[in-house]
Amino acid sequence: MNGIGPELALKVFANKDILERYDIKVIGPKSAFDYYSKLLKLKKLQDKDILSLSVNYDYNLKPGAVDSGAGRISGDAVKLGAELCKKNYFDALVTLPINKESLNLGGYVYGGHTEMLSHLTSSKNTFMLMYSAVLKIVPLTVHIPVKKISSLITKKKLIEKIILINNTFVKTFKIKNPRIAVLSLNPHAGDGGLLGSEEINIINPSIASLLNAGFNIKGPFSADGFFGSTMLKKFDVVLAMFHDQAMIPFKILSKGKGVNFTGGLRILRTSPAHGTAFNIAGKGIADTSSTIEAIRLAGKLSENY
């Protein structure tokens, strides 16, 4: 509520193309949307556009501020959205950015949307797919300290994740034999063990096992060489070993139009590929490009989900 989410919602409901193509609602307290409408001089939402939350606790509407009440509203909205999709009242859930600190202070103790929605929908094996026309990429490990990455990369986790990615691209994205690229953890793919043994001991054997099982998979590729060449064009999806290895090239290549899709979830969920942008909250300059793409992808995938 204190980030750019309400502004994005107001601007989306002023987009005639989106309103003509999709039947959308926004979840949150009507008073909050009215506040931002007045602050930003944007058209007010109509009552029919809002699934209004009944809020019987204090919250501080202050753009750019961490607040437990605002975090609780965000959590309540995501929870209601998930429940409505589970009951098939809606085909998809498009989540707007939330501040993780506020969310946790508000009583929803999760690392982010993916973890929260996995729990709410009893989805045990999920993954974060960053989706754009140019690059589709999945980080194997996500919101963890860098020093813990290596210890969390195991053959079991790699194989399970790649199978899940493959099956999602077959079922959801209708690609019969998805071409999967796997990035290395270490520079130069470990350089024969000189720069690390994870490729020799874990990543290579996992890829070999999946190749033997018939998967269309190659790697591990050194990330710098992979993204610095034309290799990207030869694959449908890329598996990165950690968050920034995936997010840096993705945000550069998607040019503000990337989408966050949660694979393996029992409901269809997309999201803009950016955060709450506290630094520009309440200033009226938030770009809806990623949110619009998230709505469009949700609409496209809902036809076959």
- 200 three-state secondary structure: helix
Confidence (pTM): 0.93
Amino acid residing at 201: N
pLDDT digits (tens, 9 = 90+) for 196-217: 999 999 999 999 999 999 999 9
Give phi and psi for 37, each to the nearest 5. Answer: -60, -45
Q: Which two tokens stand for residue 62?
A: 């202050």
Measured torsion, CA atoms of residues 272, 277, 283, 288, in degrees rounded to the nearest 10: -10
pLDDT of res. 28: 94
Cα 24–Cα 17–Cα 172 angle in degrees, nearest 5: 60
Which domains are assigned to the chain? 1-130+257-305 (3.40.718.10), 134-254 (3.40.718.10)
pLDDT at 282 over 80: yes
Q: How does residue 27 score in pLDDT terms, banded at 50, 70 and 90? A: very high
CA atoms within 13 A on the CB side of 207: 20
**85-135, pLDDT tens digit by residue?**
999 999 999 999 999 999 999 999 998 888 999 999 999 889 999 999 999
Mean pLDDT of 228-239: 95
Return mean pLDDT, the chain: 95
d(CA 249, CA 227): 7
pLDDT over threshold 80, residue 305: no
How many helices (H) and strands (E) would you count in the chain?
13, 10
Residue 243 amino acid letter: H
Over residues 138-152, mean pLDDT: 95
pLDDT of residue 265: 95
- Name the amino acid, one letter, at 298: A
Question: What is the residue whose two structure tokens read 């909205």?
Answer: 77
Bond prior to 220 in cis (omega within 30° of 0) = yes
Q: Which pLDDT belongs to residue 120?
A: 96
Residue 269: is it exposed, middle or buried by C-beta count within 10 angstroms (0-12/13-18/19+)?
A: buried
In DSSP terms, 263 is beta-bridged to 127
